[in-house]
């Protein structure tokens, strides 16, 4: 990563929160320690810091935890000298005076307001920043997901923020778009002649997108009980992965061309009526179980979760794209907390060969499969059939494996947030979402939420440490398919 970007001032609003501590500060520190962070200051803003020294110690601990062996303590003091904690109520104009004075010292710098607060504050904070005279020509505002909790609230937020910032100044972040393998998905699709002719309904049977987490609530119960897996993960991360998998090749690799193609995919998603919600979606909650060898409590026992909560911690959905390329190719999406393994992957399952030449081998034949793993160990695997060495023809399934860690030993891919924070500073919005994308995604998701409410059924149950409820398996079995667990 080069250090050619302009000097910047970044104001993290909500700096005492989980996101800032676990993701933003470790990413900024990592850039700093590799000499990739341009000259600039970081203002860590929250309404109160009971113990500022303790806060800085927590930032250090979480950076060390996130970065593991690549954390170099020698660089920490220098990094922390660039970071200043400031007590500000971001919705109170007069509360900004000290930060405003400090910012005035470098009025021409790229100024980035990073809103790591509840999204319901995005409109008010934008207005306050504008009224406090803090929005300059070089100011950018970063909005974390989820933008809103339904279509109406997303439109309201977009409209209100839009009153004070021009669209090119607004960076709606989805950190999945910054992940290395997601970038590689585009490289794979659009720089290999091999895949494009096959990337369509004639050759692809179906697509599976799984984002399975072993984490539970991690102290975010307040937020999560209001959100649930559909809003927290499907509306943004999983639909973005679906878009990148399904979109037409863009004319150029710029933000408008890519966004236009993604929006076309979202608009082509078959709307979910009540019958579809009943047959094509599954929602569930985890009960106590064992995850990675440790006993964990159930969702209802977690802190700040209503004991009667019906919020889903697992979702499986069969999505259908009604266009020329994808008609008849289901996209099965699933995501859950407290699952058996942490794994995120996209599986492209190809169709069976049209004519079976090796008839006695029929039971050995397995269809080709492309597995794009985002995490934990980033890789791209293509499963093929070959002949076992020997005098007889015996088919065997094997794979071509591009494992990033082995192939690029010693090369460190940037963390998703590193890449995206640098993109904001550089002014590159290619990997950020346009308001239309966010709203289109809500347009598809909202009827599912409404359908669940209308049906009035309780979420299904799965044991922590499993792959979700039986109904998720049934969703596939009905289509004579199965979830391809990451171990295959
Ligand atoms: P937290 O509840 O942990 O943190 C929210 C932060 O906002 C706190 O620092 C709080 O500090 C601050 N805050 C609230 N009101 C104000 C105000 N008026 N002025 C200044 N600061 C304020 O939330 P998270 O960090 O988990 O999430 C933040 C955002 O990021 C949310 O939109 C979330 O959806 C999103 N996100 C979070 C992820 C995560 O892994 N945590 C991942 C992806 C997105 P105080 O109360 O002291 O003022
Ligand atoms: C966030 C969700 O957007 O993504 C969290 O709010 C989730 O609930 C996280 O844990 C997953 O991100 P990653 O990068 O760890 O897969």
User: How long is the chain?
Assistant: 488
pLDDT tops 90 at residue 2: no
pLDDT for residue 367: 87
Domain-embedded: residue 171: no
Share of the chain above pLDDT 90, in %: 80
Q: Structural domain of residue 378, as residue ranges?
A: 177-414+435-487
Of the listed ligands, the closest to the CA of 235 is 2
pLDDT tops 80 at residue 247: yes
Domain-embedded: residue 280: yes
> 93 CA distance to ligand 2 centroid (A)?
32
- Assess whether 464 and 402 both reside in one domain: yes
Q: Tell me the mean pLDDT in the region 173-186.
A: 91
Q: What are the pLDDT digits (tens) for 347-389? A: 999 999 888 887 777 788 888 999 999 988 888 999 998 888 8
Q: Tell me the mean pLDDT in the region 140-146.
A: 96
Q: Which of 18, 26, 229 to mutate to test the pocket of ligand 1 (most atoms within 8 A of CB)?
A: 18
How far apart CA 432 and CA 436 sit, in angstroms, is: 12
Domain-embedded: residue 167: no
- Assess whether 71 and 184 both reside in one domain: no
Q: Tell me the mean pLDDT in the region 139-151.
A: 95
Least confident of 91-95, 136-140, 371-375, 399-403: 399-403
Q: Compute CA distances 276 → 182, 272, 283, 295, whole Å.
A: 29, 5, 13, 36
Confidence of residue 453 (pLDDT cuts 50, 70, 90): very high
Q: Tell me the mean pLDDT in the region 70-78.
A: 95
pLDDT for residue 404: 74
Q: What are the pLDDT digits (tens) for 429-445? A: 999 999 999 999 999 99
pLDDT for residue 1: 45
Do the beta carbons of residue 296 and residue 464 sit within 8 Å? yes
Residue 237 annotated to the active site:
yes
Domain-embedded: residue 40: yes
Of 296 and 360, more confident:
296
Q: Which of 18, 178, 215 to mutate to test the pocket of ligand 2 (most atoms within 8 A of CB)?
A: 215
Decide the pairing of beta strands 110-115 and 8-13: parallel
Angle at CA of residue 195, ends 191 and 196, nearest 5°? 80
Q: What is the CATH number of the domain that holds 236?
A: 3.30.360.10
Residues sharing a CB contact under 8 Å with residue 199, sequence separation 6 or more, in sequence order: 189, 325
- Assess whether 187 and 123 both reside in one domain: no
- Assess whether 403 and 461 both reside in one domain: yes
Q: Output the average pLDDT for the chain.
A: 93
CA 202 to chain centre: 29
For ligand 1, atom 2, the nearest C-alpha belongs to 17
- Assess whether 339 and 393 both reside in one domain: yes
Q: What are the pLDDT digits (tens) for 48-69? A: 887 888 999 999 999 999 998 8
Q: How is residue 269 written in tokens?
A: 């998603």
- The domain total for the chain is 2
Q: What are the pLDDT digits (tens) for 470-488? A: 999 999 999 999 998 655 4
Q: What are the pLDDT digits (tens) for 251-283? A: 988 888 999 999 999 999 999 999 999 999 999
Q: Is 57 in the pocket of ligand 2 (CB under 6 A)?
A: no
Residues sharing a CB contact under 8 Å with residue 457, sequence separation 6 or more, in sequence order: none
- Among 144, 169, 197, which residue terminates a domain? 144
Do the beta carbons of residue 234 and residue 252 sit within 8 Å? no
Q: Is 14 in the pocket of ligand 1 (CB under 6 A)?
A: yes
pLDDT for residue 488: 44
- Assess whether 117 and 197 both reside in one domain: no
Count the alpha carbons within 13 Å of 370 in the hemisphere toward its beta carbon.
17
Of 24 and 415, more confident:
24
Q: How is residue 15 written in tokens?
A: 């700096």
CA 258 to chain centre: 17
Least confident of 71-75, 244-248, 391-395, 460-464: 391-395
Give the active site residue among 206, 237, 434, 486: 237
Confidence of residue 183 (pLDDT cuts 50, 70, 90): confident
Domain-embedded: residue 426: no
Count the alpha carbons within 13 Å of 202 in the hemisphere toward its beta carbon.
6
- Assess whether 458 and 363 both reside in one domain: yes
Q: What are the pLDDT digits (tens) for 309-353? A: 999 999 999 999 999 999 999 999 999 999 999 999 999 999 998
Q: Which atom of ligand 2 is nearest to the CA of 375?
A: 16
- Assess whether 445 and 355 both reside in one domain: yes
- Assess whether 196 and 140 both reside in one domain: no
Domain-embedded: residue 162: no
- Assess whether 140 and 196 both reside in one domain: no
> 339 CA distance to ligand 2 centroid (A)?
14
Q: Tell me the mean pLDDT in the region 297-313.
A: 96
Q: Tell me the mean pLDDT in the region 394-416.
A: 79
Q: What is the CATH number of the domain that holds 43?
A: 3.40.50.720
Confidence of residue 5 (pLDDT cuts 50, 70, 90): low
How far apart CA 25 and CA 41 sit, in angstroms, is: 12
pLDDT for residue 486: 55
Q: Is the peptide bond between 434 and the residue preceding it cis, with omega within 30 degrees of 0?
A: no
- Assess whether 297 and 404 both reside in one domain: yes
Q: Tell me the mean pLDDT in the region 16-29.
A: 95
How far apart CA 183 and CA 180 sit, in angstroms, is: 5
How far apart CA 146 and CA 153 sit, in angstroms, is: 11
pLDDT for residue 144: 95
Do the beta carbons of residue 99 and residue 133 sit within 8 Å? no
Q: Tell me the mean pLDDT in the region 30-58.
A: 93
Q: How is residue 157 written in tokens?
A: 């937020």
pLDDT tops 90 at residue 401: no
- Assess whether 353 and 465 both reside in one domain: yes
Q: Is 148 in the pocket of ligand 1 (CB under 6 A)?
A: no
Q: Is 437 in the pocket of ligand 2 (CB under 6 A)?
A: no
pLDDT tops 70 at residue 299: yes
């Amino acid at each position: 990563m080069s250090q050619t970007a302009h000097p910047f001032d970044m104001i993290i609003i909500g700096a005492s929160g989980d996101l800032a501590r676990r993701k933003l500060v470790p990413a900024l520190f990592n850039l700093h320690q590799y000499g990739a962070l341009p000259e600039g200051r970081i203002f860590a803003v929250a309404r109160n810091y009971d113990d500022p020294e303790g806060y800085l110690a927590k930032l250090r601990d979480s950076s060390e935890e996130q970065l593991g062996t690549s954390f170099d303590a020698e660089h920490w003091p220098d990094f922390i000298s660039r970071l200043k904690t400031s007590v500000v109520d971001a919705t109170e104009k007069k509360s900004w005076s000290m930060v405003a004075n400090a910012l005035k010292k470098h009025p021409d710098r790229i100024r980035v307001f990073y809103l790591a607060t509840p999204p319901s504050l995005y409109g008010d904070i934008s207005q306050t920043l504008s009224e406090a005279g803090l929005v300059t020509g070089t100011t950018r505002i970063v909005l974390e997901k989820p933008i809103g909790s339904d279509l109406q609230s997303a439109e309201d937020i977009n409209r209100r923020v839009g009153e004070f910032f021009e669209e090119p100044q607004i960076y709606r972040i989805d950190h999945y778009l910054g992940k290395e393998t997601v970038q590689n998905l585009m490289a794979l699709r659009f720089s290999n002649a091999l895949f494009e002719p096959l990337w369509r309904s004639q050759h692809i049977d179906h697509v599976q997108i799984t984002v399975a987490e072993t984490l539970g609530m991690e102290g975010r119960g307040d937020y999560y009980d209001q959100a649930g897996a559909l809003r927290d993960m499907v509306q943004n991360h999983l639909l973005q992965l679906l878009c990148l998998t399904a979109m037409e090749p863009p004319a150029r690799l710029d933000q408008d061309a890519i966004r236009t193609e993604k929006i076309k995919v979202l608009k082509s998603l078959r709307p979910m009526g009540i019958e579809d919600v009943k047959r094509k979606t599954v929602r569930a909650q985890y009960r106590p179980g064992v995850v990675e060898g440790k006993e964990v409590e159930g969702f209802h026992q977690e802190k700040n979760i209503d004991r009667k909560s019906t919020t889903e911690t697992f979702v499986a959905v069969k999505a259908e794209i009604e266009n020329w390329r994808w008609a008849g190719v289901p996209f099965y999406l699933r995501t859950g907390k407290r699952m058996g393994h942490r794994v995120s992957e996209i599986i492209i399952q190809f169709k069976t060969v049209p004519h079976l030449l090796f008839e006695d081998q029929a039971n050995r034949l397995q269809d080709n499969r492309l597995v794009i793993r985002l995490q934990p160990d980033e890789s791209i695997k293509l499963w093929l059939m070959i002949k076992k060495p020997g005098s007889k023809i015996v088919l065997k399934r094997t794979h071509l494996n591009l494992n990033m860690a082995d192939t690029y030993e010693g090369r460190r891919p940037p963390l998703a947030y590193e890449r995206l924070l640098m993109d904001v500073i550089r002014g590159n919005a290619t990997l950020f979402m346009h308001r239309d994308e966010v709203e289109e995604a809500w347009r598809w998701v909202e009827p599912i939420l409404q359908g669940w409410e209308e049906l009035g059924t309780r979420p299904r149950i799965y044991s922590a440490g499993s792959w979700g409820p039986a109904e998720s398996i049934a969703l596939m079995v009905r289509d004579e398919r199965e979830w391809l667990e990451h171990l295959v």
